[in-house]
């Protein structure tokens, strides 16, 4: 099997059997293509999967160090590990050449979360009276109100907003790894959605958020509109994932336990959720530095 054949079969496996998002599959494809191109440039021919050894992989990683940070290199190594582990299971190669290679050490950065004042500036606004501003307002309220990934938000249909008396739930059908979950939706988010749908004159079902041409809104459009509107509100660097981090951090600050937050976010592992304890601790330290007399004297 050639490298190109192995790569295409692997990407189909990720897309169909593991149900990964198109962006994730594309990222794997990009990393594998970069590996092929660098090896081919050095050796004059594409690598053959069965002949790739630990020296080949180490040479590839060494070539990345001048232009890539440890986090990027670790991700690219992870892509190779997943690829060769799949080839081993399929008996295309006898051994995994990445098995004895350690990931470069990297400092784990805490996810950025907005404080309460910045959150108010970004999320809370007078009710829009025009269609597209009302849509964007409903999206921001939904992202923050339910802690959704941007891909999950864009995949919502009208029928996924489920009302049961005083309670409203959002059915997330296209979570990471194809998982489905139900997430509570706050009253402000529901009011923003209803206001948008009233202006739109929406049918009973179909995509919840539409672009100006009537098609399903893309993640890139949401990211662009959110960044623009947040900047106009005086808050820079706001992305859908920043709103998701803010949702989790504010829940933790409010007393929610990690297991509940894990379920709400759709994390498969509690370890993914525990990073928010660091964010919350950072918030507490900031409060201490601002409020404690000794801290004030220390910072003068």
Task: Tell me how far CA of residue 280 lies from CA of 114, 121, 141, 251, 273, in angstroms.
Answer: 11, 20, 22, 10, 12
68-104 b/e (C-beta count within 10 Å ≥ 16 → b): beeeebbebbebbbbbbebbeeeebbeebbbeeeeeb
Return the bridge partners of 207, or none.
157
Question: Is 149 part of the annotated catalytic residue set?
Answer: yes
Return the bridge partners of 210, or none.
216
Nearest to 93 by CA among 61, 60, 55, 53: 53
Q: Which of 76, 200, 250, 267 is catalytic?
A: 267
**What secondary structure does DSSP assign to 158-190, as a single string?**
GGGEEEETTEEEEEE-S-GGG--EEEE--HHHH
Nearest to 170 by CA among 178, 157, 179: 157
d(CA 60, CA 37): 10
CA angle 103, 106, 108 (to 5 degrees): 125
d(CA 229, CA 133): 10
CA angle 28, 31, 34 (to 5 degrees): 150
Q: Which of 71, 216, 241, 283 is catalytic?
A: 241
Q: Which of 28, 60, 144, 276 is catalytic?
A: 276
Question: Is 276 part of the annotated catalytic residue set?
Answer: yes
Question: Is 267 part of the annotated catalytic residue set?
Answer: yes
Question: Is 68 part of the annotated catalytic residue set?
Answer: no
d(CA 75, CA 79): 6
Q: Which of 135, 149, 245, 250 is catalytic?
A: 149
Q: Which of 81, 121, 176, 283 is catalytic?
A: 176
Q: Which of 76, 244, 245, 250 is catalytic?
A: 244
- The residues annotated with a catalytic role in the active site are 149, 176, 241, 244, 267, 276
């Amino acid at each position: 099997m050639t490298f190109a054949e192995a790569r295409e079969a692997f990407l189909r496996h990720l897309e169909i059997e593991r149900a990964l998002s198109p962006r994730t599959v594309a990222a794997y494809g990009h990393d594998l293509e970069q590996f092929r191109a660098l090896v081919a440039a050095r050796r004059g021919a594409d690598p053959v999967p069965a002949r790739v050894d630990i020296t080949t992989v180490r040479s590839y990683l060494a070539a990345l160090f001048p232009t890539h940070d440890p986090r990027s290199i670790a991700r690219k190594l992870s892509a190779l590990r997943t690829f060769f582990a799949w080839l081993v299971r399929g008996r295309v190669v006898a051994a995994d050449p990445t098995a004895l290679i350690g990931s470069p050490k990297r400092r784990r950065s805490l996810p950025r979360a907005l404080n309460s004042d910045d959150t108010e500036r970004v999320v809370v606004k007078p009710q829009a009276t025009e269609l597209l501003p009302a849509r964007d307002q409903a999206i921001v309220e939904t992202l923050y109100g339910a802690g959704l990934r941007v891909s999950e938000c864009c995949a919502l249909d009208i029928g996924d907003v489920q009302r049961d008396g005083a309670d409203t739930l959002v059915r997330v059908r296209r979570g990471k790894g194809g998982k489905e979950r139900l997430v509570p939706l706050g009253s402000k988010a529901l009011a923003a959605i209803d206001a948008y749908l009233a202006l739109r004159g929406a049918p009973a079902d179909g995509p919840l958020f539409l672009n100006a041409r009537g098609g399903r809104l893309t993640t890139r459009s949401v990211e662009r509109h959110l960044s623009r509107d947040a900047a106009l509100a005086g808050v820079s660097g706001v992305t859908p994932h920043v709103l998701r981090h803010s949702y989790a951090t504010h829940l933790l600050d409010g007393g929610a336990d990690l297991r509940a937050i894990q379920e709400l976010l759709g994390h498969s592992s509690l370890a993914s959720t525990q990073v928010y304890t660091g964010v919350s601790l950072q918030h507490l330290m900031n409060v201490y530095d601002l409020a404690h007399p000794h801290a004030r004297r220390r910072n003068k």
